[in-house]
Amino acid sequence: MIGQVTHQLVPLFGSQAPALKSGISALAAQFELITQVSAGEQVWVSGEEKPILYFNGDGILAEFSSHQRSMFCQRIIPPNTLFWSESSFLLWQKTDTYMRCKKASKIYGVSGHKVREITAQYGMGYILANTLTKMDIASYRNRSKDLCLLLPVDRLRKTIQSSPQILSSISRDELAKYLRISRSSLFRAINSLHNA
């Protein structure tokens, strides 16, 4: 697991990664098993303090936001990747989403406090925090652009290309909301892709 975490951390430090190798290794070594979740269980719910940098084992997770009693899937967390609550880990507030397990997984993590301690100790500054924030900004801008500009079938195609596991991970209703289209438009888009 430490090797997989290191593999995920190295690109986040860009060209400075070779110089920060020992700090990255020390950070990876701090990840510990937090919980084992089964499908349907939550890693966090809205209103919690979770300033934690997580690593998802071999399962699949999905993050939902809630509005007027409806849940909207915002992103899918593929196996063997880092994830975090933006509001808690990056924005220093309470969580405002729900991270739900879709396929059983082991969840590892390191507290934000520990991340600060290690990055200070190894002179890594705020590179990690700035890179993760930058990644989130880029991801939201791309998703917003897709929601505004792409036709339903193109949104579906692009989503399947970037997250192939999505079709088998979330329900059709959740997928429709992820793509901001109606269920009937989703079924038409699926048929259209299938026929093509």
Partner 1 sequence: MREGDLCTLLRHKLADRLPELSPLIDEFCAAFSSPQVLPKKTVLIRLDDASTHLHFILDGTVLELGEDDRGQLTVNQDYAPGEFVFNFHRHLTRLPSKTVYQCVTPTRILTMDQDVLESFQKKDGFDEVFFVIQQHLLTQVRAHFQHLLQLSPIQHYIWIFHHKPWLVEALTRNQMAAFLGISRATFFRLLAKHAPNE
Is residue 133 within the footprint of partner 1 (CB under 8 A)?
A: yes
* CA 86 to the chain's CA centroid: 9
Q: Which of 4, 12, 112 is nearest to 58 (CA)?
A: 4
Is residue 134 within the footprint of partner 1 (CB under 8 A)?
A: yes
3-state SS class at 41: coil
Q: DSSP for 102-160? A: EE-EEEEEEEHHHHHHHHHHTT-TTHHHHHHHHHHHHHHHHHHHHHHHS-HHHHHHHHH
For CA atoms 39, 41, 45, 48, the dihedral sign is negative
Report the residue number, 141 or 183, with the smaller CB distance to partner 1: 141
Contact set for partner 1, span 18-77 (CB under 8 A): 65, 67-68, 70, 72, 74
What element of type H or E holds 194? Answer: helix 183-195
* Nearest-angstrom CA–CA distance, 91 and 69: 24
Min separation Cβ 33 and partner 1, Å: 29
Among 7, 113, 145, 172, binds partner 1 (CB under 8 A): 145
Report the residue number, 70 or 121, with the smaller CB distance to partner 1: 70
Among 157, 180, 185, 192, binds partner 1 (CB under 8 A): 180
Report the residue number, 70 or 191, with the smaller CB distance to partner 1: 70
Among 7, 113, 141, 183, binds partner 1 (CB under 8 A): 141
**Residue ranges in contact with partner 1 by CB under 8 A:** 65, 67-68, 70, 72, 74, 86, 90-92, 125-127, 129-130, 133-134, 136-138, 140-141, 143-145, 147-149, 177, 180
